[in-house]
Chains A and B, each alone.
Chain A
Amino acid sequence: MKSPEVVVLGAGGFLGLNTVRAFLDAGLKPRCGRRPRGNVLGLRGLGAPLVVTDFTQPETLREAFRGADVVVHAAAHYPRFSTEPQETIARGLAELEAVLDAAVASKVPRLVFVSSTATVAPRDAAPSNEGDLFAVCPEWGTYHALKWNLEHRLRDEGRLEVVVACPAACLGPFDWKVGTSALLVATARGVPPPHPRGYITTVDARDVGQALVLLATSSAPPERLILANEAFDAHELLVMLAARYGAPPPPRALEAEAARVLADEQEHEAQKTGGRAALARELVDLIVHSPRLDASRSRSLGLTYRPLSDTLDAWDSWALRMGLLQRPRPEKSA
């Protein structure tokens, strides 16, 4: 049987790099969609072709998608700050529309869209599964609202097959923009981050890559798939990380409202200075509103999840090479 032709959008990003490597490990050579000025240092040398995919230039998308069987979309708009919800949602939807229209124009049969567990609605008495999507847009934050709007739009798509992956908090190598791993960097540098009470469910980005390969290549993939491994109390996770890196223990967990106020203040300040917020509003919302997750469907498809210790070992090794960690972690730490 002919191997599928795959395009990975956002190939140079954190999940994109892990996904491209998973495709290569599976013996497939995807076309790596990159923005005109995107960082492709991690892609050069992998042997997969690079194609420009500029969401503001639909012809570049149509050209990149020509002859493809699957587009894996790991480049959905990801706001740096949560301060402009309407603009963020409008941009995210416009970019998604451009991808969908180009995929249809190029006769791509399947889109695998990387969403988030932020769209998974909580259940009262049981862990949430793939059937749990918020009926209406969550109103507590820009990130949740954006992700809900994107998935909501995809549910109306009838022109091609759409498969949605909902990964939890991704950790692992190649997080070069320092997204979720900001928690690790801050802790390892002895500045444990402020955080709210709540839960963090983690997943190794390499496992997400393997899951996306499965969703791209399966003859009958599920419409929606939760990708999640271990759930941690956020504070206990930071205590464990502090012990791992020989760092001071984290501050006490904040109540949700105090965390939201602090994050909003920090994001406004970071926008003025061009820096980063020590506590991102997106992270607060994700921790406070984290549902318990049932990822049994992914396991039933044969997917396995590495334990967090393996994920952290891989991240440490990469982060040392990147200069994000200044020294190896102490030998006898957790």
Chain B
Amino acid sequence: MTDDILTQRIFKMMAQLSVVRVPDIKMEHRLREDLGLDSVCSMELLSMLAEELDLDVPMEEAAQVTTVAGTVEMARRHLALKQAAAAS
């Protein structure tokens, strides 16, 4: 999956939970302040992401994510781990 496709999938998930539409979501946005996702919604978002991409994201790690960029970065990192595990 390319970075662009991954980012767009994540933005679509964010838009499902937020009042902000996909075209208006920016990488620098903060989940709470800019997208209006409280801590529970943020965890739900990251859980949706983990399920959709079949990633094993520990809750403790997800709890540290506070921005759109951090969400994308977390997904990238776990996808890379998953691919590395599949290749080994």
Main secondary structure of the interface of B (DSSP, over half): helix
Contact with A along B52-66 (1 / 0, CB 8 A): 000011111011100
Structural contact, B44 and A38, CB atoms closer than 8 A: yes
Q: A41-B58, A41-B59, A42-B59 are in contact. Are A323 and B43 (CB under 8 A)?
A: no
Residues of A within 8 A of B64 (CB): 323
Q: Tell me whether A176 is interfacial, beta carbon within 8 Å.
A: yes
Contact in complex: B39, A323 (CB < 8 Å): no
On whether the beta carbons of B38 and A41 are closer than 8 Å, the reply is no
Question: Is B73 positioned at the interface, with any CB of A under 8 Å from its CB?
Answer: no
With contacts A44-B50, A45-B56 known, is A37 near B44, CB below 8 A?
yes
Q: Which residue of A lies closest to B37 (CB)?
A: A274
Dominant SS among interface residues on chain A:
loop
What residues of A have a CB within 8 angstroms of the CB of B50 in the complex? 40-41, 44
CA distance A40 to B49 in the complex (A): 11
In the complex, whether A322 has a CB less than 8 A from a CB of chain B is: yes
Question: In whole angstroms, what is the CA distance A274 to B47 when docked?
Answer: 21
B contacts, CB < 8 Å to A: 17, 36, 38-40, 43-44, 46-48, 50-51, 56-60, 62-64
On chain A, which size bracket covers the interface?
10 to 19
How many A-B residue pairs lie within 8 Å, measured between CB atoms? Answer: 46
With A44-B50, A44-B56 in contact, is A39–B44 under 8 Å at CB? yes
9 A-B pairs whose Cβ atoms sit less than 8 Å apart in the complex: A39-B47, A39-B59, A41-B57, A44-B50, A44-B56, A44-B57, A178-B39, A323-B60, A323-B63
Contact A40 B63, CB 8 Å, known A45-B56, A274-B38: no
CB-CB under 8 A for A38 and B47, given A321-B60, A322-B63, A323-B64? yes
Q: Which residues of A contact B60 (CB under 8 A)?
A: 318, 321-323
Q: Which residues of B contact A324 (CB under 8 A)?
A: 63
Q: Is A177 part of the contact surface with B, judged by Cβ < 8 Å?
A: yes
Residues of A within 8 A of B36 (CB): 274
Residues of B near A45 (CB, < 8 A) are 56
The answer to whether A176 and B56 touch across the interface, beta carbons within 8 angstroms, is no
With A and B bound together, what is the CA distance between A102 and B60 in angstroms? Answer: 34
Give 4 closest A-B pairs by Cβ, nearest first: A321-B60, A41-B59, A39-B47, A39-B43
Task: Select one of B40, B51, B57 contacting A177, CB under 8 A.
Answer: B40
Interface residues of A in 288-334 (CB under 8 A from B): 318, 321-324
A41 nearest CB neighbor, chain B only: B59
Q: Which of A159-182 contact B (CB under 8 A)?
A: 176-178
Instruction: Looking at the assembled complex, report how far the CB atom of A302 sits from the nearest CB atom of chain B, in whole angstroms.
Output: 31
For B64, the closest partner residue in chain A by CB is: A323
Q: Quick one: CB contact mask for A228-272 with B, threshold 8 Å, 1 for yes? A: 000000000000000000000000000000000000000000000
- In the bound complex, CA of A318 to CA of B63 (Å): 11
Interface residues of A in 27-72 (CB under 8 A from B): 37-42, 44-45
